[in-house]
Structure 1
Amino acid sequence: MLNIFLISLAVLALLSIIFEEITHLNKAKTTLFFGCVSWVVLFMSAGDPGQQKIVEAELNENLLEIATLWLFLMSTMTFVAYLNAKGMIQILVQKLFPQRVSVRMLMIQVALFSLVLSAICDNVTATLVSLGLLTTFKLESQMRRRMAVLIIFAVNSGGVALITGDVTTLMIFLGGHVQMSELLILFLPAAVSVMLLAVLFSLKAEGYVSTTPIKRDYHKVDVLIAVIFFSTIIATMALNVLFGIPPVLTFLTGLSIMFLVGNTSRSDKEELQILEYIRQVEFDTLLFFLGILLLVGMLKEIGTLDLLTQVYAQFDPNISNFVTGIGSALLDNVPLTAALLKAEPILNTPEWLGLTYSVGVGGSLLVIGSASGIIAMSKVKELTFVSYLRYVPALLLCYSLGYGLTLFLSYKMFG
């Protein structure tokens, strides 16, 4: 009975996201409310002090995971929000992209940019930078939404080929199930599926768009902070691979350097204005993440994820992997992957590669299924849970193609 009630709270949270436009209740606040209430109920139903200690330990573990992601998001978003406010991202786009381009060509260029960027840096950073591109072009509402969906799919796809791009890829790699050289073949299926989506989305796209002219009112310190940002991304990858330093620690170090550099050239008042701007832009996104992850942690605590691993073992691994990817659109792929790894399924190399692709890309099928989707939903006002659903058939087709190509290539090379 308790489990049914807790699952009902998770469903209500999902409904609050779906019907946000009707209820006018901020999804960040509703998900946070249901996430907190679910853990309060867990404590109240624990009974004896011993059981309460177990729930407390689980909550602390969940909060540690959330805090790590929160701090990482906060540091990344601070960099991107600052550079965006100073027009640095727009200037970079004007250097990389032509000032006037057809909408169809822009689709393909944005898809490639997001795909490659997400392979070399984390999904959060890749999403924020890629969404920053959209602000530089004068796009109509529907096209901006379509571009955002394309970015979500491209970012999630690009991340599967390298351990620097996706947490689930890193988890499977650290478990000793795949090698770096084996992971690299996933880039081809990822690229093909992303290009297919870009082509499908561009079929009805007509006309040309121009970049918004940017007044170059930035200072030398802004260029220096941009260099610190990109140096932090490179250092994050290098230090994680060489010394196992968690990405959040490297990014917080980079953020502290940014603040020190900024403080030497700006007054305290200007510094407060920058921090206030960042708070206004990013706080809802962070609260939304907090609520979602509290709910996922609760589902993990009551054994819902363990139940999924039992179902996984009942079928052929190739089918189970495909369905698991679809399931990761509803449940966060990190705890889902962790639960599967804990179950220690006996899989061969092609099957592990199939799982890596599916849990990395499958979250794109729903806007709440991945970190990039949640960020995009909070950044692009045209993108809502309901409006995203119209793109599910095209996303499912491209996901299926990518998964099929993954199996074909991996069995041909390692089968």
Structure 2
Amino acid sequence: MLYTFLILLAVLALLSIIFEEVTHINKAKTTLFLGCISWVALFMAAGDPGHEKIVEHRLDDNLLEIATLWLFLMSTMTFVAYLNAKGMIQILVQKLFPQRVSVRLLMIQVALFSLLLSAICDNVTATLVSLGLLTTFKLDKQMRRRMAVLIIFAVNSGGVSLITGDVTTLMIFLGGHVHMSELMMLFIPAAISVMLLAVLFSLRAEGEVSTSPIKRDYQTVDVIIAAIFFSTIIMTMVLNVLFGIPPVLTFLTGLSVMFLVGHTSRSDKEEIKILEYIRQVEYDTLLFFLGILLLVGMLKEIGTLDLLTQAYAMFDPNISNFVTGIGSAILDNVPLTAALLKAEPVLNTPEWLGLTYAVGVGGSLLVIGSASGIIAMSKVKELTFVSYLKYVPALLLCYSVGYGLTLLLAYQLFEA
């Protein structure tokens, strides 16, 4: 009875996201409420102090994961918010992109930019910076939504080929199942599938778009903070590979350096303005993440993920990996991957690479299936759960092509 009630809460949370435009209730508020109620129900059903301690321990573990993500998001968003407010991102776009470009060419350029950026830094940073590009171009609502969907797929695809790009890739690598050189092969199918989606999206895209020339007076400190941001991205990758330092710690260090440098030249009034911008624009994103991860943690607690692991073992690994990727569009791919690794399936190298691609890219099939999608939904008002569904056939096709190419290349290069 309890499990049915808890699963019903998860379904209600999903429905609240789907029908947000009908109910006019912010999805961050509904998911947070239902996520909290689910854990309250777990405590009330514990029955005795011993079981209550177990539930409390599991909640603490879940909150630790959430806090880590929150701090990481907060530090990344602070950098991006500052650079965006100072016009630095727009200036960068004008340096990299022509002032006037066809919509079709822009799609390919944005897809490549997002793909490459997400391969060298985390998905959150890549998404925020890539979405920042869209604000510099005069796009209509439909085209902005289509570009946002392309960015989500490109960011998730680019992250699978390096351990710095996606948490699930790092988990599989640390488990000793794949080597760095094998992972880099995934960039080929990832790039092909992203370019395929860009071409599909650009078929009916006509005309040109332009950027508004920006003449911003930026100070030396703004350039220094931009350098700190990109140095932090590089150091996050280097320190994680060499010393296993968690990315959140490196980014918080970079944020502290930014504050120390910025404090010497920013007025108190300007600093308050930046903090207000962050609070008003980003807080819903953080609350939405909190609610979603509380619900996923609850599903993990009641054994739903274990049931999926058992179902995984019943079929051919190549089929199971493909379906697991689709499943990661509904359930967070991190606990899903953790559950599979804990089950210790016996897979060869091509099958491990197939799983890596599937759980990394499969979350793109629904807007709530990845951190990139959740961030995009909170920042691009035209992008909702329902509006995203119209792109699912194209996304599924490109995901399938990428997965098929992964297996084809992997079996040719690494078959035991």
TM-score by structure 1 length? 0.99
Deviation of 1:267 (Å):
2.3
The residue aligned with 2:214 is 214
Deviation of 1:216 (Å):
1.4
Which amino acid is 2:341 matched to?
L
What per-residue deviation string (whole Å, max 9, x for no partner) do you get for residues 269-325 of structure 1?
Answer: 321221111111111100000000000000000000000000000000000000000
**SS of residue paired to 1:257:** helix
Deviation of 1:268 (Å):
2.3
**SS of residue paired to 1:98:** coil
What per-residue deviation string (whole Å, max 9, x for no partner) do you get for residues 56-115 of structure 1?
Answer: 000000000000011000000110011111110010000000000000000000000000
Residue pair 2:104, 2:205 contacting (<8 A) in 1 also: yes
Distance in 1, Cα, partners of 2:242 & 2:185: 23
What per-residue deviation string (whole Å, max 9, x for no partner) do you get for residues 326-366 of structure 1?
Answer: 00000000000000000000000000000000000000000
Alignment of 1:283-362 (within 5 A): 283-362=283-362
Q: Does 1:190 align with 2:194?
A: no
Distance in 1, Cα, partners of 2:235 & 2:115: 20
Distance in 2, Cα, partners of 1:260 & 1:268: 13
Distance in 2, Cα, partners of 1:271 & 1:94: 26
Alignment of 1:71-90 (within 5 A): 71-90=71-90
Distance in 2, Cα, partners of 1:9 & 1:217: 51
Which amino acid is 1:323 matched to?
V
**SS of residue paired to 2:163:** coil
Which amino acid is 1:279 matched to?
R
**SS of residue paired to 1:160:** coil
Which amino acid is 2:113 matched to?
F
In the alignment, structure 2 segments of 5+ residues that lack a partner are: none
Residue pair 2:240, 2:247 contacting (<8 A) in 1 also: yes
Where does structure 1 differ by over 6 angstroms across 4 or more consecutive aligned residues?
none
Which amino acid is 1:255 matched to?
L
**SS of residue paired to 1:300:** helix
The residue aligned with 2:50 is 50
Distance in 1, Cα, partners of 2:82 & 2:38: 36
The residue aligned with 2:161 is 161
Which amino acid is 1:200 matched to?
L
The residue aligned with 2:64 is 64
Alignment of 1:8-407 (within 5 A): 8-407=8-407
Distance in 1, Cα, partners of 2:273 & 2:200: 43
Which amino acid is 1:94 matched to?
Q
Deviation of 1:217 (Å):
2.1
Distance in 1, Cα, partners of 2:326 & 2:274: 40
Which amino acid is 2:147 matched to?
M
Deviation of 1:218 (Å):
1.6
Distance in 1, Cα, partners of 2:20 & 2:338: 31
Deviation of 1:262 (Å):
1.0
**SS of residue paired to 2:264:** helix
Distance in 1, Cα, partners of 2:288 & 2:257: 28
TM-score by structure 2 length? 0.99
Distance in 2, Cα, partners of 1:268 & 1:133: 29
Residue pair 2:81, 2:274 contacting (<8 A) in 1 also: no
What per-residue deviation string (whole Å, max 9, x for no partner) do you get for residues 233-284 of structure 1?
Answer: 0010000001110000000000011111111112223212211111111111
Identity of aligned residues (%): 88
What per-residue deviation string (whole Å, max 9, x for no partner) do you get for residues 206-247 of structure 1?
Answer: 000001221212211111110000000001000000111000
Residue pair 2:236, 2:251 contacting (<8 A) in 1 also: yes
Which amino acid is 2:261 matched to?
V
What per-residue deviation string (whole Å, max 9, x for no partner) do you get for residues 11-59 of structure 1?
Answer: 1011110011111100111110001010000000100000000000000
Please provide the CA RMSD for this pair.
0.6
In the alignment, structure 1 segments of 5+ residues that lack a partner are: none
Distance in 2, Cα, partners of 1:189 & 1:267: 49
Deviation of 1:396 (Å):
0.2
Count of residue correspondences: 415
Deviation of 1:414 (Å):
0.9
Which amino acid is 1:371 matched to?
A
Distance in 2, Cα, partners of 1:33 & 1:51: 23
Distance in 2, Cα, partners of 1:5 & 1:214: 54
Residue pair 2:160, 2:360 contacting (<8 A) in 1 also: yes
Which amino acid is 2:63 matched to?
L
